[in-house]
C-alpha cells in the first residue's frame, strides 16, 4: 500500500506519546478507587509486581512487533507470520481498542461537562447539598452526556486527522508536562487540607487482610488498562519509533511516568477524601461525586482557591483522557489506511461514526436504556468488562505468545538491542526473554482462566 509513514522525531517524543496513551482516566479515575476498594498500599504493592513481571513483558512484546515491521497490529502480524491466523489476532486487538474508546469517550464527555460546571462556579459552598446528586442526574440525562461525548470524540478526531507527527506528537509534547504540573498542584492543595494525614496513611500503610484473589486479578487488570496493553495501541505507536531507539528505555520510561502519575493522583484524591470524612471505597463515582463535594465544602474557607482547583482538576482529567483516546483511534485509523488504502481523513470519519454510535448506546445505558442488560450488565458495564476483564488480557497473552514462541529468537534479540546498538540490553536479554516466553504467559493464562471460571 502506498502511504507515507511518520516517525516520532525523538525518543522523548515517543515516550511522551506512549505515556500520553498510558496516562488517562485509568490513573485518575480508576486507580484511586481501586486502591480504596482493595486495601490501600497492599494493592499498590501487588500492582507494582504486576507491572514489572507481567505488563512490561507485554509492553516490550508489542514494541518489538510494531518496531520490527513499522506496521499496525494486523499488518505486522500478517507480515511476521504470513499465511497463519495470527493476523486475526491483530484485528481482534484493533476491535478491542474501538470498543474501549466508545465507552471511554462517554466518561471523557462527563469531564467536559464537569469542567464547564467548575468554570460556571457550580461547586460553590452554598450548593454543596446538590453537588453529590448532580452526577446521577447528569449521567441519566439523555442529551447532555451525548453532546459532551460528541465533543470529546470530535476533539480526538481532530488531533488524529492531523497525523502522528503534527497531531499526536505535538499534542502529547505540550500536554504531558502540563498534566504533571497540574496534578502536583492539586496534590499540594489536597495535602494541605486538615485531616489529610489519614489519607496519606491509607496509601502508604498496607492492609493485607483485604488482599484476596479478586484484588490480585484487579491489580493485574488495572496495570494492563493503565499501560494501554493488549489492544495494539502500544504496538501502533512503536511502529513509529526509529530503528536506532532503545525499546527497553522507552518501555521503562513510559511505565515509570504512568506509575508516578497514578501515585500522584492517589495522593491528590485520597487525602481530600479523608479530609472530608468520606468512605474511600466509594467506587467509580469517587472523582465525579465525591471530589466536587469536597471542592464545594472546602470552599467555605477558601472559595477562590477551591474553585480554581476544581477547574484545574477537571481540566487535568480531560487532557489525560484525550491523550489516551487519540492512541485508540489511531490504532483503528492505521488499519484502515494501511490495509484498506483509505485516506486518513476518511478513515477517521468512518471510525468516528462507529465509535460515536456505540458510545451513545453506552451513554444511554445510564438513562433510557438502563433496563437493557447483556449477561446481567448494562451496555456500558458490558463493554467495560468485556474489554478490561477479557479482551485486554487475552490480547496481552497472545502478544507475549507471539513474540516468545512464534517470532525468531534472533529477531527478538535484534529488536531489543536495536541491532546491537545497545550492548547493555544484550546482558538482560535472557531474563527479559524468559519473562516474555514463560512467566508472563503462564501467570496471565492462569489468572485469565480463573477469571473465566469464577
Residue 19 in contact with ligand PFF, rule: CB under 6 A:
no
Instruction: Please pick, from the candidates 15, 17, 18, 25, the single residue that binds ligand PFF as defined by CB under 6 A.
Output: 25
Q: Does 233 contact ligand PFF by CB under 6 A? A: yes
Minimum gap (Å) between residue 423 Cβ and ligand PFF = 32
Cα(304)–Cα(338) distance, integer angstroms:
51
Which C-beta is closer to ligand PFF: that of 186 or that of 326?
A: 326
Half-sphere exposure of 168 (CA within 13 A, CB side): 32
> For the chain, what is the largest distance between any 2 Cα atoms, rounded to a whole number of angstroms?
68
Helices (H), 120-169: 128-140, 143-161
Contact 328, 231 (CB under 8 A): yes
Stretch of residues binding ligand PFF (CB under 6 A), selected from 16-24, 160-168, 209-217, 298-306? 16-24
Do 80 and 406 touch, CB atoms closer than 8 A?
yes
Return the residue nearest ligand PFF (CB atom): 26
Binds ligand PFF by CB under 6 A, chosen from 14, 18, 19, 24: 24
Give 33's contacts (C-beta < 8 A, 6+ positions apart): 281, 282, 283, 284, 286, 287
What Cα–Cα distance (Å) separates residue 223 from each residue in 15, 24, 30? 18, 12, 11
Q: Which one of the spans 66-74, 147-155, 195-203, 227-235 is the region binding ligand PFF (CB under 6 A)? A: 227-235
Q: Report CA dihedral (339, 344, 347, 352) to the nearest 10 degrees.
A: 140
Site for ligand PFF in 136-155 (CB under 6 A): none
Q: Of these, 55, 228, 239, 307, which contacts ligand PFF (CB under 6 A)?
A: 228
* Separation CA 99–CA 84 (nearest Å): 25
The upper half-sphere exposure of residue 194, i.e. CA atoms within 13 Å in the direction of its Cβ, equals 4
Q: C-beta of 331: minimal distance to ligand PFF in Å? A: 7
Q: Return the number of the residue (111 or 417) whose C-beta is nearest ligand PFF.
A: 111
* Residue 97 vs 259, nearer CB to ligand PFF: 97
Beta-carbon contacts of residue 120 (< 8 Å; ≥ 6 apart): none
Among 43, 59, 202, 225, binds ligand PFF (CB under 6 A): 225
Shortest approach of ligand PFF to residue 94 CB, angstroms?
10
Vertex 154 angle, CA 152 and 160, to 5°:
110
Binding of ligand PFF by 273 (CB under 6 A): no
Binding string, residues 61-100; x marks residues near ligand PFF by CB under 6 A: ------------------------------------x--x
Segment lying near ligand PFF (by CB under 6 A), choices 10-18, 220-228, 242-250, 285-293: 220-228
236 contacts ligand PFF (rule: CB under 6 A): no
- Burial (CB < 10 A; 0-12, 13-18, 19+), residue 292, is buried
Q: Kindly state whether residue 21 participates in binding ligand PFF, applying the rule CB under 6 A.
A: yes
CB of 96 to ligand PFF, least distance (A): 8
Q: What are phi and psi of 377, to 5 degrees?
A: -120, 155
Per CB under 6 A, contacts with ligand PFF among 285-344 are 324, 327-328
Binding site for ligand PFF (CB under 6 A): 21-22, 24-27, 97, 100, 225-226, 228, 231, 233, 324, 327-328
Amino acid at each position: 500500500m502506498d502511504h507515507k509513514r511518520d516517525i516520532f522525531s525523538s525518543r522523548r517524543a515517543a515516550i511522551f506519546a506512549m505515556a500520553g496513551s498510558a496516562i488517562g482516566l485509568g490513573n485518575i479515575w480508576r486507580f484511586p478507587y481501586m486502591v480504596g476498594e482493595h486495601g490501600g498500599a497492599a494493592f499498590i504493592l501487588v500492582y507494582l509486581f504486576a507491572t514489572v513481571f507481567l505488563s512490561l513483558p507485554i509492553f516490550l512484546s508489542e514494541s518489538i512487533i510494531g518496531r520490527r515491521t513499522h506496521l499496525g497490529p494486523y499488518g505486522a502480524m500478517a507480515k511476521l507470520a504470513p499465511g497463519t491466523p495470527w493476523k486475526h489476532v491483530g484485528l481482534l486487538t484493533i476491535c478491542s481498542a474501538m470498543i474501549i474508546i466508545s465507552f471511554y469517550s462517554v466518561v471523557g464527555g462527563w469531564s467536559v461537562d464537569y469542567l464547564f460546571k467548575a468554570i460556571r462556579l457550580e461547586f460553590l459552598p452554598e450548593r454543596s447539598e446538590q453537588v453529590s446528586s448532580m452526577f446521577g442526574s447528569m449521567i441519566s440525562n439523555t442529551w447532555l452526556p451525548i453532546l459532551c461525548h460528541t465533543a470529546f470524540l470530535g476533539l480526538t478526531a481532530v488531533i488524529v486527522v492531523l497525523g502522528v507527527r503534527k497531531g499526536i506528537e505535538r499534542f502529547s509534547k505540550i500536554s504531558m508536562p502540563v498534566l504533571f504540573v497540574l496534578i502536583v498542584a492539586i496534590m499540594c492543595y489536597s495535602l494541605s487540607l486538615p485531616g489529610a494525614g489519614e489519607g496519606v496513611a491509607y496509601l502508604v500503610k498496607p492492609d493485607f487482610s483485604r488482599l484476596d484473589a479478586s484484588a490480585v486479578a484487579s491489580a493485574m487488570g488495572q496495570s494492563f488498562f493503565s499501560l494501554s496493553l493488549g489492544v495494539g495501541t502500544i504496538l501502533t505507536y512503536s511502529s513509529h519509533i526509529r530503528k536506532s531507539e532503545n525499546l527497553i528505555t522507552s518501555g521503562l520510561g513510559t511505565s515509570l511516568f504512568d506509575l508516578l502519575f497514578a501515585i500522584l493522583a492517589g495522593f491528590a484524591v485520597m487525602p481530600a477524601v479523608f479530609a472530608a470524612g468520606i468512605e474511600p471505597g466509594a467506587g467509580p463515582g469517587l472523582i465525579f461525586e465525591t471530589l466536587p463535594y469536597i471542592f464545594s465544602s472546602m470552599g467555605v474557607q477558601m472559595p477562590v482557591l477551591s474553585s480554581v482547583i476544581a477547574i484545574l482538576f477537571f481540566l487535568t482529567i480531560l487532557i489525560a483522557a484525550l491523550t489516551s483516546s487519540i492512541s485508540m483511534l489511531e490504532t483503528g485509523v492505521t488499519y484502515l489506511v494501511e490495509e484498506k488504502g483509505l485516506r486518513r481523513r476518511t478513515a477517521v470519519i468512518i471510525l468516528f461514526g462507529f465509535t460515536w454510535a456505540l458510545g451513545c448506546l453506552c451513554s444511554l445505558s445510564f438513562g433510557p436504556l438502563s433496563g437493557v442488560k447483556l449477561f446481567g450488565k448494562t451496555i456500558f458495564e458490558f463493554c467495560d468488562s468485556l474489554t478490561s476483564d477479557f479482551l485486554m488480557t487475552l490480547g496481552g497473552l497472545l502478544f507475549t505468545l507471539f513474540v516468545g514462541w512464534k517470532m525468531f529468537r534472533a529477531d527478538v534479540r535484534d529488536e531489543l538491542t536495536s541491532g546491537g546498538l545497545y550492548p547493555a540490553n544484550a546482558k538482560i536479554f535472557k531474563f527479559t526473554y524468559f519473562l516474555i516466553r514463560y512467566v508472563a504467559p503462564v501467570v496471565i493464562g492462569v489468572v485469565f482462566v480463573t477469571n473465566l471460571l469464577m
